[in-house]
A and B are shown apart, each in its own frame.
Chain A
Amino acid sequence: MATKQKQLIVDVKKQFAAIAKQFEPIQVLNEKGEVVNPQYMPDLSDEKMVELMERMVWTRVLDQRSTALNKQGRLGFYAPTAGQEASQLGTQFALEQEDFILPGYRDIPQIIMHGLPLAKAFLFSRGHFAGNQYPKDLNIISPQIIIGAQYVQTAGVALGIQKRGEKSVAITYTGDGGSSQGDFYEGINFASAFKSPAIFVIQNNGFAISVPRELQTAAPTLAQKAVAAGVPGVVVDGMDPLAVYAVTREARDRAVNGEGPTVIETLTYRFGPHTLAGDDPTRYRTKEMDEAWALKDPLVRYRLFLESKNLWSAEQEEAVIERAKEEIKAALKEADAIPKQKVTDLLNNMFETPTQNVAEQIAYYTEKESK
């Protein structure tokens, strides 16, 4: 008797191929700075294009100086950003001042560009509450250490924006590892259910400390996790500032038009270690990998692009570098001048009106500090 071919209920290959087709990475500039997809070219003036380059160069200098200052003991906690300039600054560049940023611990450049004084970023690094004291109209929170928490909070800020009837968005960032957290899913799903104006960025730099992205999930892209929430997802070349800007701007337009949230996965790389607290990337990354990604450096391709349009020169770049160094020096001086923290400061920041135990302890430490 001939065996009958059983019809598969789930044709896995077909299902996965259909998904993969929906999540091809978006690119505007290739590694040589050539425009490969003019149809995605964002509507940016020459001045704005140059400004974006200035921000990227400035941030690269900030990373180099922060790393050096950390080694000298003049800064504390620091998560390197070199390599992620297009991903971090391209997304932020697409925002308006009224948009609200909920950053992760590596996302200091975005909140600086949104208005955080550099001295405060340094105080955050050192561990001083003054680094987290912002005026009420600066729409940021301090960098989130609990990976994923910023995602569920973003759903809340976005719902708040919606209830206030404002035409703005809440944007948040996590890494590839963070996309495995429950809060990641809950955050995008809540924003989906309420159709709230939120942008969820996954900066996929290939590693969560030492764990490669392939160990986080068998899903071939992280953006496709948006499907679980029923929201749009897009993969973008995270080393391409114009592509990152374009997809973020489009997501913002959708959000302020009441069409709900978007998940953006930026394919990027950190040239440095995870943090400067003893991580050694040679344990898990090869030299070949570092070299291959160095060729994709967002500064290199964007520089080539702007030079081809006669918008950028070595002198301009040198001027930004010098300005960055001066500003960093001034900010350090400002941070050094902040008074030391006292236990009474910490206690006074606990409640609007101190509770009985806190009030008693304020009295105790006031006495102690007066000696």
Chain B
Amino acid sequence: MAQMTMIQAITDALATELRNDENVLVFGEDVGNNGGVFRATENLQKEFGVDRVFDTPLAESAIGGLANGLSYKGFRPVAEIQFFGFVFEVFDQVAGQVARTRYRSGNTRNMPVVFRAPFGGGVHTPEMHADSLEGLMAQTPGLKVVIPSTPYDAKGLLISAIRDNDPVVFLEHMKLYRSFREDVPEGEYTIPLGKANIRREGTDITLIAYGAMVQESLKAADELEKEGISAEVIDLRTVSPIDTDTLVASIEKTNHVVVIQEAQKQAGVAAHVIAEINDRAILSLDAPVGRVTAADSVFPFAQAETAWLPNKTDIYNKAKEILSF
């Protein structure tokens, strides 16, 4: 065991898989000698060489094209998009190409690609760095979308993502990169994709969240506990596909639920989660499903982040509202 930040756990996962499988390649803008703009690939080029860990020209679409073409030659590409706001440049290669290859080829070709990218608000980044665009990816058949919220999950999920023989979009919240440390096992371990995690058990209300909103939900749960309200906090971990079994089991116990996301109301995956709950657990609900999201504006100018981003107070208030329905 070692105490690691999420960024260290990610580096550790990449090193583990570079060591395990010579077909794993790590590439992107500044991921080589520089070790990545967040140091996620620190020292990897030094250890594994420039053939395995390398910089590319500054063009996201061709980074996606490289991942695609390298897969045809039997490699397992782990491509980095420097900030997920830049995904629009490579949308065709991710959603129009890589995600469709197994299907298009009638299951004769596959793309074991991971697209890693940081995202998320709260650190005053410039425009188009922090946007939560996981909803766009979750709407694309052929992709899995993973968003860890802890160092332990980040390592186990990233190893699973790299070993998956189908494409995975792996989104890393910038605010969580170094915000806390926890024990992370040495060596390899995996966490299954598509499985949620109960972060805190409770009996009165279910709080479903992912990314930075998991921490906010845990803080809200602490506040609720002071008033004798027992909140169960579920971290989705994979936002596509959704682990509905874990959600339904919790809701059957608590009969109240709030879905929380950092993305705008019209974006993210909350609406899909709510639809699944309505399909599968409506008779267990004592109140409508609550939802905490950001406002339907463009991601805020840096100085407006605090006012705009959802937080523990929004979650606390929404939980109280649902419980008093």
Residues of A within 8 A of B (CB): 100, 129-130, 132-136, 141-142, 146, 149, 151-161, 163-164, 170, 182-183, 186-187, 189-190, 193, 346, 348-352, 355-358
Contact = CB atoms under 8 A, between A and B. Distances in A.
Contacts of B8: none
**Chain A contact surface mostly:** helix
A159 B66 contact: yes
A172 to B, nearest CB: 10
7 contacts: A129-B103, A154-B65, A154-B69, A163-B75, A190-B59, A349-B102, A355-B144
A151 B73 contact: no
Nearest to A141: B72
Nearest to B167: A351
Interface string B108-120: 1110000000000
Contacts of B142: 350-351
A134 B110 contact: no
B274 interface: no
Interface residues of B, number: 45
Given A134-B108, A352-B165, A160 B72 contact: yes
Nearest to B64: A152
Interface in B126-144: 141-142, 144
B80 interface: no
Contact of A156 (B69, B92, B242): B69
A358 B72 CA distance: 25
A152 B93 contact: yes
Contact of A142 (B70, B93, B105, B242): B105
Contacts of B25: 163
A104 B241 CA distance: 32
Interface string B36-74: 000000000000000100001101011011111111111
Contacts of A164: 73-74
Contacts of B62: 152, 155, 183, 186-187, 189-190
Nearest to A164: B73
Given A151-B65, A349-B102, A350-B141, A159 B108 contact: no
Contacts of B73: 156-157, 160-161, 163-164
A130 B241 CA distance: 27
B65 A352 contact: no
Contacts of A186: 57, 59, 61-62, 65
Contact of B70 (A133, A160, A193): A160
A187 B93 CA distance: 12
A141 B110 CA distance: 12
B147 to A, nearest CB: 16
Nearest to A354: B241
A152 B68 CA distance: 9
Q: Which of B65, B144, B166 has the most chain A CB within a 10 Å cutoff?
A: B65
A164 B104 CA distance: 25
A170 B166 contact: no
Contacts of A160: 69-70, 72-75
Contact of A146 (B96, B109, B241): B96
Contacts of B104: 129, 132, 142
A97 B75 CA distance: 21
B175 to A, nearest CB: 28
B106 A349 contact: yes
B303 interface: no
B248 to A, nearest CB: 12
Nearest to B110: A352
Contact of B57 (A142, A158, A193): A193
Contacts of A158: 69
A352 B72 CA distance: 16
Contacts of B93: 149, 152-153
Given A142-B104, A355-B194, A152 B243 contact: no
Contacts of A163: 25, 51, 70, 73, 75
Given A100-B72, A132-B108, A146-B92, 16 more contacts: A142-B104, A152-B62, A153-B65, A153-B72, A160-B75, A170-B69, A186-B62, A189-B57, A190-B59, A190-B65, A193-B57, A351-B166, A352-B110, A356-B241, A356-B244, A357-B241
Q: Which of B70, B165, B166 has the most chain A CB within a 10 Å cutoff?
A: B70
Interface string B195-223: 00000000000000000000000000000
Contacts of B96: 146, 149
Contact of A351 (B71, B72, B102, B108): B102
A149 B242 CA distance: 30
Q: Which 5 A-B pairs have the closest CB atoms?
A: A156-B69, A152-B65, A160-B73, A186-B62, A157-B69
B267 to A, nearest CB: 20
B103 A350 contact: yes
Contacts of A350: 102-103, 141-142
Contacts of A152: 61-62, 64-66, 68-69, 93
Interface string B87-105: 0000011001100001111
Contacts of B109: 136, 141
A133 B66 CA distance: 22
Q: Which of B51, B96, B109 has the most chain A CB within a 10 Å cutoff?
A: B109
B65 A149 contact: yes
Nearest to B243: A356
B190 to A, nearest CB: 14
B124 to A, nearest CB: 30
Contacts of B64: 152
Contacts of A161: 73
A253 to B, nearest CB: 21
A193 to B, nearest CB: 5
A141 B51 CA distance: 25
B18 to A, nearest CB: 14
Given A189-B59, A352-B165, A157 B103 contact: no
B20 interface: no
A357 B194 CA distance: 10
Contacts of B164: 352
Nearest to A183: B61
A132 B65 contact: no
Nearest to B54: A194
B107 interface: yes
